Chains A and B, each alone.
Chain A
Amino acid sequence: MAMWRCPRRPSWLFCKSMTEDHWGLYVHIPFCLRKCPYCDFNSYPRSRWSREDRRRYVGAVARELGGIGVSCAPVSLYFGGGTPTTLPPQDLAWLLGLAKDKWNLGEEVEISIEANPDTVDGEVLQELRNAGFNRLSLGVQSLRDRDLAILGRSYDVQTVHRALQDARLAGFTNIGVDLIYGIPGQSPQDWRETLEGALELEVEHISCYSLQVEDHTPMAAAIMRGELALPPEDDWLEMFQMTVEILGKGGYEHYEIANFARPGRQCRHNLLYWKNRWYLGVGAGAHSHWERRRWANVKDPGTYADLVAAGMPAVEDERSLTEGEEMDETAFLGLRLLGGVDLGEYRRRFGRDLGAVYADPIAQLTARGLLEQADGQLRLTTRGLPVANVVFAQFIRD
């Protein structure tokens, strides 16, 4: 079992208020009711693992969590998947309890859990809330039944409404929903319906991801066979712009390429990723970033559980980062935020000016109207947002 010392806190950790930026803990639960045809995450249909196997997995996660040698408390906990709520709520409560005891965590810490509408009811949500989860991220994806069918989701819009109602009743006051656009067969008008429906949900946070068709998924195969077709690019662009406009008018701040939040309700855990801060991931395939290293655990839940049970490190892929790589990653991850990269903070962290390190790309991209600098921040322009990759690629140095 790998052990981490309490980090010697580098000075940059102090540059912002201590309550906001520290480190985050991610817990991966790789089970789902079923695998969606577009999904290439590290997740597996629950039925592939016996109840006993899943219990063993939870035990392994608990053991890995218990072995973490960082004494200062995380600022956020995030239970993601897969679908964490495919596990019995008692298991989730137990895991959370271990973390809470270990670091003496209270309500001030953001503790998120992902769920799908068809895996929760009032009782489950109440148990989760009671256990200390205080932020719910619901994988809604669409508010049109036809889209849900194409995405292979096994619930309907009504179920979504019911789940949200139950969540409110259970006492969740910080709820986010995930939506997907660019679904095969979806028109801009269809997407407008989902967006307008989303406003009526009155949640605190909305993520709108563009459907990414990954190789080797059933959806990619269906597109190859010509059975499904992605919306044309012009439609896609219209949907993107519509998202920004409708959610903006609805009182949501567009704070990251695909994320919108009510004031003060940004997802603190995800902000750690975008600000390239440190985080530890436990569970199969979970990713970590600590000091100058990134690593990932083995993906297969069974192998993961075996390794942990044997007291061996479950790390599969580990690499050290050079300072240059760390700088690149801090730049392109930070540019995902609408506020951009804080130049002062960047200088304090690396001792060099972002503007000097990437002088050429910044000049070119600014001339093309994709980047802008204002108020001590470097950020994407409205034009730059839909072609963000073109910009990011320029921040990868040799």
Chain B
Amino acid sequence: MDQERIRNFCIIAHIDHGKSTLADRLLQQTHTVSEREMVDQILDQMDLERERGITIKLQAVRLEYAAKDGKTYTLNLIDTPGHVDFSYEVSRSLAACEGALLVIDASQGIEAQTLANLYMALDNDLEIIPVINKIDLPNAEVERVLGELEDTIGFTRDQVILASAKTGQGVEEILEAVVERIPPPRGNLEEPLKALIFDSHYDVYRGAVAYIRVVDGVVKVGDGITMMSSGREFEVTQLGVFRPHMVSVEELGAGEVGCLLASLKDVKDTRVGDTITHTRRPAAEPLPGYRAARPMVYAGLYPVNNEDFEALRTALEKLQLNDAALSFEPETSAALGFGFRCGFLGLLHMEIVQERLERQFDLNLITTAPNVVYRVTTTDGETLVVDNPAAFPSQGSITAIEEPYVDATIIVPSDFAGPVMELCQDRRGTFQTMEYITPERMVIRYSLPLSEILLDFFDRLKSRTRGYASLDYEFRGYQESDLVKLDVLLNGKPVDALSCIVHRSRAQKRGRQLAEKLKEVIPRQLFEVPIQAAIGGKIIARETVRALRKDVLAKCYGGDVTRKRKLLEKQREGKRRMKQFGDVEVPQEAFMAILQVDD
């Protein structure tokens, strides 16, 4: 295919700024889907994504657009995930494009992810087309947002397209701009094959499917290919493009976007960011930017019923087929029995995995509070990588502990700068910079321990700023911290799965708050349950769950046994979701209590 007639682009936006709706509209406008086929937000395939209104898995769709110059262009729209957990995936899909639509909500303006994504797009040398979306909304502030784009990013007014994905206004203009402003791919068809994997997914019938952008050369069905990161070899069995359903093609040449099937067993063979080349005539160098998915957050996943352990393993294996970023290792907890320590990209990723395990595989799980990965130097001079607070070495044998830090970008109306800075300080943040985007809004940058972000940081930020703040962060590196392990005892017995790592200066307070919170979430049992928080064997806080003394139903009125039964079933269902420690029943919420302690 003539590369001059190809445009590869993506849409970047802060969450809820209307990316998916705009994508839908582009598909409609180019007749890629008929009105009849139109399902709202067609690119977000999975139920979970539609429910949460966010895009988790990106996809690529081919649009045929008859432009005003009389020529027909092939536009490849690459959908990108919209959450900070998936920023590496975003960066790879950006690398597959020459241009990006930067979508900004007319009533919200620039947000943290707008900037984070924009910088990422600029790093990849993309041509940016700014689009102010939702201009039809009554609270749209087009002038203010135009001002922000001029002042903060340096766009001129005539570069900005005003649109409403909902009404279709400006959509034609966007398509024209894609053709006119985004450069065509400049790959070399004669060079050895270089194709970037920017996404993959697992299909039960076909195995792993790699979404690729061919940078140089041509790949054909039947070709022998090599994954450059692993050296593993495969034979191409099928190639396809999406409109939006897959249509088979015989070859994909430089500049084209599509999918590749090659009897790939699971998505581990199709690592996002990896380069595919020909086995016979390999490229000298892979494309830049590949890195293995690196879990940032760990949590223990345990079946409530111990006999479900194998079922959990099978379920995790199945999920991993489609999720190379998910890692898991079996582990044993004195309190919870056999389970898995799982690694996730972030909290959202963790929640999604948890929800899928419970929904798709019907497993009843206890998830421990998420934690970061610590580096612990022992008195032996050894450096241990610890991803589980329960596995922390004893205080005496530690010489230093390091924890991961992130660079956080927060955008907020300037009135709220104070509360935001207070929160960051309270969360052991180090101030970096602060700039005005407009007279009313500012960007605040802090260096923060990742573990503090896990502690309900985003919700706190939202509540302190009446929902106006937006947050983005990226991993910065490890830094030494004065950390201690906080243990919890229930009924006098330590529950390892409730242990957590906290900063020494906050240990007393967190211990107290944790004990109080546990008292709230642990239901009353038939006897008193003492809750204790301890550091290094020393009790620092104590609470008591009072014994349950009354639980009796009123009369069985007029023989309505069904209602009684339903009440009892509900009670029993609640019980089933609890983990039994000796005589004490502990609900899932208890393991998350540390995340909800009040400041």
Contacts and interface: CB of A to CB of B under 8 A. Distances in A.
B561 A388 contact: no
A289 B559 contact: yes
Given A26-B558, A26-B559, A287-B558, A387 B552 contact: yes
Given A368-B526, A396-B568, A396-B569, A389 B553 contact: yes
Interface string A324-350: 010011001100100000000000000
A9 interface: no
Interface residues of A, number: 51
A80 B548 contact: no
A200 B569 CA distance: 41
Contacts of A211: 554
B568 A273 contact: no
Interface in A261-277: 270, 272-274, 276
17 contacts: A240-B550, A257-B552, A258-B555, A273-B561, A281-B558, A285-B558, A287-B560, A287-B561, A288-B559, A294-B562, A296-B562, A317-B562, A333-B556, A368-B526, A388-B552, A396-B569, A396-B572
A41 interface: yes
Contact of B559 (A287, A319, A370): A287
B523 to A, nearest CB: 11
Given A273-B556, A396-B572, A319 B551 contact: no
Contacts of A247: none
A135 interface: no
Contacts of A394: 572
Query: Which of B550, B559, B561, B572 has most chain A Cβ within 10 Å?
Result: B559
A166 to B, nearest CB: 26
Contacts of B567: 389
A273 B564 CA distance: 12
Interface string B529-569: 00000000000000000001111111111111110110111
B559 A388 contact: no
Nearest to B556: A273
Contact of B554 (A210, A270, A272): A210
B31 interface: no
Interface residues of B, number: 24
B575 interface: yes
Contacts of A257: 552
A130 interface: no
Where chain B touches its partner, the secondary structure class is helix
B561 A390 contact: no
Query: Which of B548, B555, B571 has most chain A Cβ within 10 Å?
Result: B555
Contacts of A28: 558
9 shortest interchain CB distances as A-B pairs: A212-B554, A389-B551, A393-B571, A287-B559, A393-B572, A387-B551, A388-B552, A393-B568, A287-B560
A281 B556 CA distance: 14
Given A233-B550, A287-B560, A390-B526, 16 more contacts: A207-B555, A210-B554, A237-B549, A274-B556, A287-B559, A287-B562, A294-B561, A317-B562, A329-B565, A332-B568, A385-B552, A386-B550, A386-B551, A389-B553, A393-B571, A396-B572
Given A336-B556, A389-B571, A289 B550 contact: no
B549 to A, nearest CB: 5
Contacts of A370: 526
Contacts of A255: none
Interface of A: 26, 28, 41, 80, 207, 209-212, 233-234, 236-237, 240, 257-258, 270, 272-274, 276, 279, 281, 285-289, 294, 296, 317, 319, 325, 328-329, 332-333, 336, 368, 370, 385-390, 392-396
A317 B565 CA distance: 14
Given A386-B552, A387-B549, A388-B551, A393 B558 contact: no
Nearest to B574: A393
Contacts of B548: 387, 390
Contact of A389 (B561, B562, B568): B568
Nearest to B548: A387
A314 to B, nearest CB: 15
A209 B568 contact: no
A329 B557 CA distance: 15
Contacts, number: 99
Nearest to A369: B526
Nearest to A397: B572
B469 to A, nearest CB: 32
Contacts of B575: 393
Given A233-B549, A387-B549, A390-B548, A273 B559 contact: yes
Interface string B555-595: 11111111011011101100100000000000000000000
B552 A396 contact: no
A234 B549 contact: yes
B347 to A, nearest CB: 33
A41 B556 CA distance: 11
Nearest to B525: A390
B557 A212 contact: no
A288 B575 CA distance: 30
Nearest to A367: B583
A302 to B, nearest CB: 19
A325 B562 CA distance: 11
Given A207-B555, A332-B568, A393-B572, A319 B550 contact: no
A368 B526 CA distance: 9
Nearest to A365: B526
B554 A236 contact: no
A389 B559 contact: no
A32 B33 CA distance: 61
B239 to A, nearest CB: 49
A41 B562 CA distance: 14
Nearest to B569: A396
A165 to B, nearest CB: 27
Nearest to B561: A329
Contacts of B569: 396
A296 B560 contact: yes
B15 to A, nearest CB: 35
A333 B561 contact: yes
A387 B575 CA distance: 15
Nearest to B559: A287
A273 B568 CA distance: 17
A383 B558 CA distance: 27
Nearest to B553: A389
Contacts of A388: 551-553
A272 B558 CA distance: 11
B527 to A, nearest CB: 9
Contacts of A258: 554-555
Interface in B380-411: none
